[in-house]
Amino acid sequence: MSVVAFPRDKGFTLIELMVTVAVMAITLTVAVPAFTQLINGNRLTSQANEVLSALSYARSEAIRRNDDVVFCHSPNGTSCSAPSGNWQGWILFAASDPAVILASGRFNTQLRVIPSSNLANAAHALRYNSQGFIRQQANANLLTGSLRICHPSGRPEQNSRDVRFISGGRVTVTSVIDASCSRPGD
């Protein structure tokens, strides 16, 4: 009679499983807030860069077309209007042919978009003239100001991006700490 050797059962013990679950819980506790912060930061940066790109495009189109190009708030992607609260989107069009939209975009609904008082007073519109200077929509005055894109939560710490424009046509983006998502300076 020969002895049959049974293979040892392979698997996890209860203690090994509990240690693994504890390590996963600690890792997730640390990783999830950091991941949320990363997502919010990327969302802010991408929206600010989209506006920066649109304004650069507006300036180059104004010079190329030898015509004024308008950047303004648009809730529907077809016409300019003053926002009732938060900006929903924007459009670009040549002043000589407002029916032809050169570009348009929407803002993420989780973000607040707040214009500086100069931009709000200019009917929420910028006008690039054929020399590439930013002018107010309603008149020929040079315009400086900001468009603040803000995430209302405290994550990331620098929860706002200011898209600043000056009358010379130059546009920059800066990170700002603004927990209350207030109106930016001009």
pLDDT in tens, the chain (186 residues): 666 666 666 777 889 889 999 999 888 888 777 788 888 888 899 999 999 999 999 999 999 999 999 999 998 888 888 887 788 999 999 989 988 899 999 998 888 998 988 888 878 888 899 999 987 665 667 888 899 999 887 677 788 899 998 878 889 999 888 878 888 887
Which residue has tokens 């929206």? 47
- pTM listed for this prediction: 0.80
Structural contact between residues 161 and 175, judged by C-beta atoms closer than 8 angstroms: yes
Which residues lie across from 176 on neighbouring strands? 160
Direct distance between the N- and C-terminal alpha carbons of the chain, in angstroms, rounded to an integer: 96
